[in-house]
């Protein structure tokens, strides 16, 4: 073979390698090599996540801090509004979403979910002084709010269809919905029931739960990752950490700390 032919063959091989891209890409290996895992959170979902005296804390943080320890890396939390989190994760702005999201069949088609980290049906609250609304059916013909693009908004729309119509407003953050509820611009807010129950215990002068508070089928919440081969090892490692925390009592202790109670969670990702 002549030198020119050898050079041409070598260059062709390099081109093929470049087109093939990196072999055996593995998100978990990359995270461990970097020594950190970057996650998006919404720090406006007390008691799951909040800022107190300038520091992020809550149930999600306590749980994921323990998971990061099991992975041997440092967690890096980025405060991002919920509507931007899943799109941001898909384009790899961060490694995983740890704003716990409802596991739904539609989301399972597009994303990978960890094992559930909390049981959280959708609930409704009203302003404490609004005695015209007591039970969920009383919001017929009224104005109710929920987070834009959330499972809570979806279930609120389904409930609206069921009872004959609700004027639904969607918000970028739950705090905006709470503010409009207090100001009288909303009659009710749909949200994750443990969050709403915590809010009512802290601010009974402003908010009250409807009785019963739940609407729709119950939900389990989990963290969300990318649904690709590169991410499979990371999601398995997180699931293994969650199971270890469940078995050694850390999951129970953290739930009781923030929710005042413990609910045993499925050891597999629910598919319905």
Q: Are 33 and 163 in the same domain?
A: no
Average pLDDT value for residue range 215-235: 92
Asked, for residue 103, whether it belongs to a domain, the answer is yes
Model confidence band, residue 150 (pLDDT cutoffs 50, 70, 90): confident
Among 15, 192, 232, 11, which Cα is nearest to 112's? 232
- Taking the CB of residue 188, how many other CB atoms lie within 10 A of it? 24
Asked, for residue 4, whether it belongs to a domain, the answer is no
Average pLDDT value for residue range 161-186: 95
Separation between Cα atoms, residue 157 and residue 171, nearest integer Å: 14
Q: Are 141 and 56 in the same domain?
A: no
- Contact in structure between 189 and 128 (CB atoms under 8 Å): no
Among 271, 269, 248, which Cα is nearest to 117's? 269
Mean pLDDT of the chain: 89
Total tally of structural domains belonging to the chain: 2
Separation between Cα atoms, residue 10 and residue 198, nearest integer Å: 65
Q: Are 201 and 79 in the same domain?
A: no
Phi first, then psi, for residue 130 (nearest 5°) are: -90, 95
- Whole-number Cα distances in Å, 13 to 9, 25, 36, 178, 224: 6, 20, 35, 61, 38
């Amino acid at each position: 073979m002549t030198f020119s032919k050898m050079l041409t063959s070598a260059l062709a091989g390099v081109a093929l390698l470049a087109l093939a891209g990196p072999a055996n890409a593995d998100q978990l290996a990359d995270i461990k090599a970097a020594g950190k895992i970057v996650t998006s959170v919404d720090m406006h979902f007390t008691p799951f996540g909040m800022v107190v005296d300038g520091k992020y804390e809550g149930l999600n943080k306590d749980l994921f801090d323990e998971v990061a320890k099991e992975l041997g890396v440092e967690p890096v939390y980025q405060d991002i509004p919920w509507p931007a989190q899943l799109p941001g994760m898909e384009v790899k702005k961060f490694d995983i979403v740890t704003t716990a999201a409802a596991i739904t069949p539609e989301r399972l088609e597009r994303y990978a979910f960890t094992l559930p980290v909390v049981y959280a049906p959708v609930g409704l609250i009203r302003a404490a002084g609004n005695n015209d609304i007591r039970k969920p059916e009383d919001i017929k013909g009224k104005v109710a709010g929920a987070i834009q693009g959330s499972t809570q908004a979806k279930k609120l729309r389904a409930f609206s269809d069921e009872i004959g119509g609700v004027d639904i407003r969607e918000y970028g953050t739950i705090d905006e919905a709470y503010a409009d509820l207090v100001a009288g611009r909303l009659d009710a807010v749909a949200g994750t029931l443990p969050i709403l129950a915590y809010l009512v215990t802290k601010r009974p002068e402003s908010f009250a739960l409807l009785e019963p508070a739940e609407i729709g089928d119950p939900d389990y919440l989990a963290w969300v990752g990318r649904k690709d081969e590169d991410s499979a090892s990371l999601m398995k490692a997180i699931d293994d950490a969650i199971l270890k925390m469940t078995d050694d009592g850390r999951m129970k202790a953290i739930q009781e700390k923030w929710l005042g109670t413990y609910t045993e969670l499925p050891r597999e990702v629910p598919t319905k």
